[in-house]
Structure 1
Amino acid sequence: MTVHGPVMPIWSCGGCGLPWPCATRKHELLAEYADAPVSMALYLGSYLVQATEDMPWTPAGLLHRRFLGWTRENGQAVPAVRRPGSATVPAEIEPR
């Protein structure tokens, strides 16, 4: 259990007082979700929704970068899901 959890409704870090998620928590999350980046994005996305309700004056883009944007900056891009037999381009519509 980390001490770097969010203090709501101001969304600061309970461990260091910086805006949550702080650098320490980000490193912890990357380690915790190393094999599950989509799960980490869903987890952080749920906190993003709560933060937008608690801080409606904060620009949406800023909150998005704070809660989710950093996940791709660290080379942890969410992999695309490719199902066997699925087309990579939309099928052409046949004329009537």
Structure 2
Amino acid sequence: MTVHGPVMPMWSCGGCGLPWPCRTRKRELRAEYADAPVSLALYLGSYLVQATEDMPWTPAGVLHRRFLGWTRDAELPNPAVPQQCQSVRAEP
């Protein structure tokens, strides 16, 4: 069990005091939900709903980036070598 859980209603991290989810908790969640990105989004989406109720003064976009925006980064491919586009020309 992590010590980096949310402290409500201000949504700070119980382990380090940073805004939750903190960098450590994001790393833990990425590992825990590595094969289930939709489940991670649903899990964090439920927390997003609670956070909007607890912090109505916070702009929706800020909360969205904080709770869900970073999850898409985990889904992007990370190729070891960048691929180059090669054009193929048809000969007349």
Name the TM-score, length of structure 2 as normaliser: 0.80
Aligned pair 1:56/2:56, yes or no?
yes
Q: Which residue in 2 is equivalent to 1:70?
A: 70
Question: % of aligned pairs identical?
Answer: 87
CA distance in 2, matches of 1:22, 1:76: 19
Deviation above 3 Å: which 4+ runs of structure 1?
A: none
Q: CA deviation at 1:75?
A: 3.9
Q: Which residue in 2 is equivalent to 1:86?
A: none
Residues 13 and 29 (structure 1 numbering): CA distance in 2 closer, same or farther, change over 3 Å? Answer: same
Q: Which residue in 2 is equivalent to 1:4?
A: 4
Aligned residues of 2:44 and 2:68 also touching (Cα < 8 A) = yes
Larger radius of gyration: 2
CA distance in 2, matches of 1:76, 1:21: 18
Give secondary structure in 2 for the equivalent of 1:4: coil
CA distance in 1, matches of 2:66, 2:31: 18
Name the TM-score, length of structure 1 as normaliser: 0.77
CA distance in 2, matches of 1:60, 1:12: 17
| Structure 2 gap segments, 5+ residues each | 77-92
RMSD (CA atoms): 0.8
Give secondary structure in 2 for the equivalent of 1:25: helix
| Structure 1 gap segments, 5+ residues each | 78-96
Q: Within 5 Å, give how 1:1-96 maps onto structure 2.
A: 1-72=1-72, 74-76=73-75
Q: CA deviation at 1:76?
A: 1.5
